[in-house]
């Protein structure tokens, strides 16, 4: 019986070791770049944008085909009771010589549309970077908050133990014990709330990145470098992909105006036929060729209305471009000031942390010698720990603000982003 129990224990030990290795293999450690790369690979943003780019590319190929000749083949056989049967084969080619520049305008429009879709994907990737950074630092901030509260609970529990010991020898009153117990209960409630917020932050991080909830995030104690002057970042305004996207929309609208104006101009085509098998009663050469011209004189004002509509669309896109410039400037300024404010707060809180910690240590020492009350010690402890928590939260807010400024000024390395033209591989992965 003892041998069987020993065997069971050995098997359990092996299984425990195996499961612990499996758990450690799953719970990998990632930094911000790893989390961003996972988000790019596991969300629909990239393949969706690449598919749209591919569609725009095919529309460009369609527009380019209008510059090439068309070739068609037709055959005819006809028999009647009173006439000789007739038959022929014909090859026809048609080449557009001039159509008012409609084809050139259409090609320019499709090229701008292709650029528009590429910029649209870049905008989505930059927005995804900001989302990943925000959730990444939210999880780290939540973890630090929980650790700080647990540390505060240790301090508060020590206070309760010390007061209990002093109460037994008559050096502390019952009211002091009640105050310490109340403080400990409040901090425990704060810990429960912080743990709930951490779970929510974990869920949001998993949603954005596709990584497992148990993924360990690599902490950093570094704080961002102070930003340069705001004018330096505003110079990057025109480098933002959303500005380039609206510029592409302006170019598309301009090409539609040129295409609509072509309706007022003549259309000239070259037409040629070749007859490998001619009609039995047909006479003449084996081929013929000619030039045709068509000028639309009146169509009820349709062309003029199309030109006017395209002109209004151009004005709309120009207004949107102007609006986007102003919004982008505000975005850059907001990210810049958030980072600057966070860094200034960190400097002030670091100084305050030293003072509040020293104050707590002194109040604790004075309490032992009867020179301070328990309430003084509790207040000093709360101030010290609240300052520590505020400092840690502000550090992660600064890191998040630095990531927002990086995205707002288009400073994300393109090497970190997928090739926007590589749509076929993404489509294979989806399948």
**Do residues 303 and 310 make contact, with C-beta atoms less than 8 angstroms apart?**
no
Please name every residue paired with 331 in a beta bridge, in sequence order, or none if there are none. none
Q: What is the DSSP string of 41-80?
A: HHSSHHHHHHHHHHHHHHHHHHHHHTTSPEEEEEEEEE--
CA atoms of 25 and 38, how far apart (whole Å): 17
Q: Which two structure tokens, joined as six digits, stand for 267?
A: 């259309």
Domains of the chain (ranges, CATH numbers): 30-78+91-131+224-416 (1.20.1600.10)
Q: Which two structure tokens, joined as six digits, stand for 27?
A: 């719970």
Three-state DSSP class for 372? Answer: coil
Q: What is the DSSP string of 211-256?
A: --TTPEEPP----PPPP--HHHHHTTGGGSHHHHHHHHHHHHHHHH
Question: What pLDDT score does 282 carry?
Answer: 55
Query: Digits of tens for pLDDT over the chain (431 positions)?
Result: 444 445 545 545 544 444 444 444 445 889 998 999 999 888 788 888 889 999 999 999 999 988 899 999 988 877 776 666 677 788 999 999 988 888 899 999 999 999 999 999 988 889 999 999 999 999 999 999 999 999 989 888 887 777 777 666 666 667 777 777 888 899 899 999 999 999 999 999 999 998 998 899 988 767 888 999 999 999 888 888 999 999 999 999 999 999 999 888 999 999 998 888 766 555 667 888 999 998 888 888 898 998 999 999 999 999 999 999 999 999 999 999 999 999 999 999 999 999 999 998 888 888 777 777 778 888 888 899 999 999 999 999 999 999 999 999 888 764 544 444 443 443 333 23
The pTM of the full predicted model, rounded to 2 decimals, is 0.76
Instruction: Decide the pairing of beta strands 86-98 and 70-78.
Output: antiparallel
> Of the candidates 149, 129, 140, which has an alpha carbon nearest to the alpha carbon of residue 202?
140
**Do residues 112 and 118 make contact, with C-beta atoms less than 8 angstroms apart?**
no
> Of the candidates 248, 242, 252, which has an alpha carbon nearest to the alpha carbon of residue 109?
252
Residue 402: Cβ-neighbour burial (10 angstroms; 0-12, 13-18, 19+): buried
Three-state DSSP class for 183? Answer: helix
Q: How far is CA 46 from CA 171, 250, 263, 317, 430, in A?
A: 69, 25, 39, 26, 11
Question: What pLDDT score does 377 carry?
Answer: 83
CA atoms of 246 and 320, how far apart (whole Å): 7
End-to-end CA distance of the chain: 56
Question: What pLDDT score does 347 carry?
Answer: 94
Give the per-residue SS3 of 188-213. Answer: HHHHHHHHHHHHHHHHHHHHHHCCCC
């Amino acid at each position: 019986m003892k041998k069987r129990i020993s065997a069971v224990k050995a098997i359990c030990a092996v299984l425990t070791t195996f499961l612990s290795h499996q758990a450690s293999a799953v719970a990998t450690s990632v930094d911000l770049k790893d989390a961003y790369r996972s988000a790019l690979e596991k969300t629909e943003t990239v393949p969706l944008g690449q598919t749209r780019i591919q569609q725009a590319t095919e529309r460009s190929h369609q527009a380019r085909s209008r510059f090439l000749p068309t070739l068609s083949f037709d055959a005819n056989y006809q028999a009647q009771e009173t006439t000789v049967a007739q038959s022929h084969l014909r090859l026809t080619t048609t080449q557009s010589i001039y159509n008012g520049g409609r084809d050139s305008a259409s090609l320019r429009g499709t090229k701008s549309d292709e650029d528009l879709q590429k910029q649209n994907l870049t905008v989505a990737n930059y927005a995804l970077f900001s989302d990943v950074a925000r959730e990444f630092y939210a999880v780290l901030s939540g973890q630090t908050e929980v650790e700080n509260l647990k540390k505060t609970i240790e301090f508060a529990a020590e206070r309760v133990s010390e007061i209990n010991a002093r109460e037994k020898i008559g050096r502390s009153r019952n009211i002091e014990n009640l105050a310490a117990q109340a403080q400990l209960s409040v901090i425990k409630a704060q810990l429960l709330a912080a743990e709930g917020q951490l779970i929510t932050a974990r869920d949001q991080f998993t949603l954005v990145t596709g990584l497992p909830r148990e993924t360990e995030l690599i902490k950093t104690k570094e704080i961002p470098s102070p930003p340069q002057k705001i004018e330096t970042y505003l110079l990057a305004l025109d480098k933002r992909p959303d500005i380039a996207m609206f510029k592409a929309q302006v170019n598309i609208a301009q090409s539609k105006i040129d295409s609509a104006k072509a309706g007022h101009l003549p259309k000239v085509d070259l037409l040629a036929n070749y007859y490998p098998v001619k009609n039995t009663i047909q006479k003449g050469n084996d081929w013929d060729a000619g030039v045709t011209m068509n000028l639309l004189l009146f169509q009820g004002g349709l062309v003029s209305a199309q030109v006017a509509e395209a002109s209004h669309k151009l004005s709309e896109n120009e207004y949107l471009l102007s609006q986007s410039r102003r919004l982008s400037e505000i975005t850059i300024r907001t990210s810049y000031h958030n980072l600057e404010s966070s860094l200034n707060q960190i400097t002030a809180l670091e100084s305050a942390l030293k003072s509040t910690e020293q104050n707590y240590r002194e109040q604790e020492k004075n309490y032992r010698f009867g020179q301070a009350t328990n309430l003084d010690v509790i207040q000093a402890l709360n101030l010290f720990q609240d300052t520590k928590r505020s400092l840690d939260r502000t550090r992660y807010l600064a890191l998040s603000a630095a990531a927002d400024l990086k995205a707002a000024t288009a400073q994300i390395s393109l090497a970190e982003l997928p090739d926007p033209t590589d749509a076929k591989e993404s489509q294979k992965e989806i399948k």
